[in-house]
Amino acid sequence: MFSNQVDRAHYAPHTPYNDNPQSIGFRATISAPHMHANACESLLPFLKPGAKVLDVGSGSGYLTHVIAELVKPGGSVVGIDHIQGLVALANTNTAKSSEGRELMKNGGIVFVKGDGRKGYSEEAPYDAIHVGAAAAVHHQELVDQLKSPGRLFVPVEEDGLQHIYVIDKKTDGSVVRKKEYGVRYVPLTDSYE
Ligand code: SAH
């Protein structure tokens, strides 16, 4: 199911097709392809054409672009990162392909700067929210910004161990939280800028 329309070479500076994370500067990494695939697979039932999605910790912009391809036509993805240099990098990377340029022009992708732990209320609610860095607590604002139904994919650190949580807001508004597999992400932090 992985979108073949987004070339990882536009987003990863070295050995783009190896299945490991890589530094992209600014103390950030582009996640390994298998983690991007896991995230997309988990969110896929909510990534319908026209869907609205928030990508927290958008970093290189790669996953933001992949998700934007999956919600075409009519969908939109907001990528939020708290480092201005990474917001700029994501824009530069996405502009390397004609598909990316078109999405940035027609509102299919927007990169913004901000603290993603608070979500991005300006564009809420979302069909799906992806978090690309480990949360130290469960951020209620992210759940609040989900549609009913909607799904949040978020790594959460508890007692020094990180696990993926898949949190569903059901049609009736009830919230179901599933703890899945162990992972290693960089943390969601205060901005150092
Ligand atoms: N999905 C990205 C992952 C980048 S690494 C990719 O594959 O390229 C995690 C990102 O989370 C970094 O870019 C970092 O700057 C960002 N980040 C960390 N804390 C954040 C916060 N509080 N708000 C927004 N972004 C944050």
- Of 3, 23, 31, 174, the active-site residue reads 31
Is 60 near ligand 1, meaning CB less than 6 Å away?
Answer: yes
Closest to 68 measured CA to CA, from 77, 81, 56: 77
Q: How far is the CA of 172 from the centre of ligand 1 (A)?
A: 31
In the chain, what is the straight-line distance between the N-terminal and C-terminal CA atoms, in Å? Answer: 37
CB of 188 sitting under 6 A from ligand 1: yes
The 8-class DSSP code of residue 31 comes to P
Which ligand 1 atom sits nearest the alpha carbon of residue 80?
A: 24
Q: Check residue 5 and give its pLDDT.
A: 83
Does the pTM exceed 0.75? yes
31 is catalytic: yes
Ligand 1 binding pocket includes 82 (Cβ within 6 Å): yes
Q: What is the pLDDT along the chain (193 residues), one digit of tens a residue?
A: 344 589 999 999 999 999 999 999 999 999 999 999 999 999 999 999 999 999 999 999 999 999 999 999 999 999 999 999 999 999 999 999 999 999 999 999 999 999 999 999 999 999 999 999 999 999 999 999 999 999 999 999 999 999 999 999 999 999 999 999 999 999 999 987 7
